[in-house]
Structure 1
Amino acid sequence: MNFSGARVASFAVPLGLGLLLGLTGPIAEHWGGRPGAAVGAVFTGGWPWACYAFLVGYFRRSRIESVVLAPLGLAIGVVAYYLTKENLASLSGLDSSGAGSSGIAFWGVLAFFFGAPLGLLGNLARVPGIGGLFFRLLVPLVAFYETSMRLETEALGPSQVVLGTWTTVRFTAVAVAIAMVSHTVWVWWRSRRVRSAGVGVG
């Protein structure tokens, strides 16, 4: 019984996080202010969604579960995002009829189209050492690319808070990538040194 409960929880947690992912962006934007604008800028971008699907796969031992849960969680997040955004717009007296259903249909399809491979890539990133390094670098690379494109194409539109948030995310992505590469190289060098010492002793 305990095993069944733990098993159910292991499926419910990633799906619940997908729901939270979908709720965070529109609620933060509706909240307003500098904190709301910053959080909204992060969670309405594409890279947190890619990161979510990737991490779902990374923390699953089964590749099949990675491929199934990642797109399912993304789809739940998409539905939550647009329903929340539509309801908050209605509370503010804005007309958003039709926008939610079309957004759910479009991004829901993309959630399944991209979610499965992202979940698989996350699972492949579990490979230790240099073998899984490329896969582990995907999320910071996606974050860097997206924020760079936004800063280049939308520099005159968003507020300074949003621009500052994108810049922070970009530099953080670079720092994370450098840390990943450095750690992997250090572990590889240390293990090679230990093996060499063992051969010398033998």
Structure 2
Amino acid sequence: MQYRVTSPASVAVLGGIVGVCGPLLLSVDGQAAHVAHITLSSGWSWAALSYFAGMAEKRKRRSCVMGVVSLVCATLAYYVTKAVQGDFLKVDLGDHTGQTTYFAWGQFISFIALWCFTACLFGPILGLLGNLSRNGYKRHAFRAAVPLVVIAETSVRLSTEASLQQPVVGTTWCATRIAAMIILFAIAGYSIYEYWRTLSKRRIHSS
């Protein structure tokens, strides 16, 4: 399979789309929009964003950079969207009427700083994993990275948060985990198939 080298601008745009759509879909009516919001707001979807940004690159160093760029742009877009939606508007307690509001710049900037720092920590790792999944005899192991992240996150959320959420949330997490398991088994099956095919070719050539 051939991959085109991506530009920082295209990765930034993709990250921005993911970041905007997460909170934006929360205000859209309909169960499909709610499911999409749950999916795009999950940690695994952001991990997948960074992973595939790295996979699209041929060079390891560039894949690490793209992993960071995608997450930083998604973070900025996410919190700017939430700011526009009014999430950082606070009531001025000094006004007894409760009609005066102000923008919580400190909270806004601290959230962005925290998650941009997290992006700089995990972006290079995820981007590199995506790059390593392109070629090499270990590529199938690296291709299992995102499904494993999905299974881990959804399992934790189902055991700790599902009872506190709406039924559609738990259903979405269950369906996502099942899909990740299917993909993981498919990767394992294809890896075994390739191994035996390579082994058979070696036996034919050696005979």
Q: TM-score, normalised by structure 2?
A: 0.85
Q: Distance in 2 between matches of 1:110 and 1:179?
A: 31
Choose between structure 1 and 2: higher helix proportion: 1
Unaligned runs of 5+ in 2: 92-100
| RMSD (Å) for aligned C-alpha atoms | 2.2
CA contact (8 A) 1:19 1:80 kept: yes
Per-residue CA deviation, residues 1-32 of structure 1 (Å, 9 max, x unaligned), is xxxxx97x633222211111101101111214
Give the fraction of aligned pairs with identical amino acids, expressed as a percent.
31
Q: Distance in 1 between matches of 2:136 and 2:108?
A: 42
Task: Give the residue type in structure 2 aligned to 1:22.
Answer: G
Find the residue that maps to 2:164 and give its secondary structure.
coil
Q: Tell me how far 1:109 sits from its aligned partner.
A: 0.7
Residue 184 of structure 2 is aligned to residue 177 of structure 1: yes
Q: Distance in 2 between matches of 1:75 and 1:146?
A: 21
Q: 2:202 corresponds to which residue?
A: 195
Task: Give the residue type in structure 2 aligned to 1:46.
Answer: G
Query: What is the aligned residue count?
Result: 192
Per-residue CA deviation, residues 152-175 of structure 1 (Å, 9 max, x unaligned), is 001221111111111111000000
Unaligned runs of 5+ in 1: 1-5
Distance change (3 Å), C-alpha of 1:62 and 1:52: same
Q: TM-score, normalised by structure 1?
A: 0.87
Q: Tell me how far 1:125 sits from its aligned partner.
A: 1.6
Q: 2:173 corresponds to which residue?
A: 166
Q: Tell me how far 1:127 sits from its aligned partner.
A: 2.6
Q: 2:30 corresponds to which residue?
A: 33
Per-residue CA deviation, residues 94-133 of structure 1 (Å, 9 max, x unaligned), is 977344322211111101111011111211122344x122
CA contact (8 A) 2:11 2:69 kept: no
Residue from 135, 140, 157 that aligns with 2:147: 140
Q: Tell me how far 1:196 sits from its aligned partner.
A: 1.1
Matches within 5 A, 1:43-192: 43-89=40-86, 97-98=104-105, 99-129=107-137, 131-192=138-199
